[in-house]
Amino acid sequence: MYKMQEEEFDAIVINEKSPKCPPHEVVKLYYLGTHSDYGCVKCKMKSLRLEDFGI
């Protein structure tokens, strides 16, 4: 699982040419050096729980 800053994740642009989910491509999100959430870089879904991604 990759690590990514919240700012990098928020800068991802999703459009009709983007790959579709599932399967989710989950990254571990960090804010100020602390783990904050998990996020999918394909659909920009965010959740505190990894189980919400079906993993």
Render pLDDT for 41-54 as a digit per residue (tens, 0 to 9): 999 999 999 999 98
Cα dihedral value 54, 48, 2, 11, nearest 10? 110
State pLDDT tens for residues 5-16: 999 999 999 888
Identify which of 40, 44, 51, 47 has the alpha carbon closest to the alpha carbon of residue 1.
40
pLDDT value of position 38: 97
**How crowded is the C-beta side of 50, counted as CA atoms within 13 Å?**
8
State pLDDT tens for residues 24-37: 999 999 999 999 99
Q: pTM for this structure?
A: 0.83
Q: Look at residue 55 and tell me whether its pLDDT is greater than 90.
A: no
pLDDT value of position 22: 83
Query: Terminal CA-to-CA distance of the chain, rounded, Å?
Result: 12
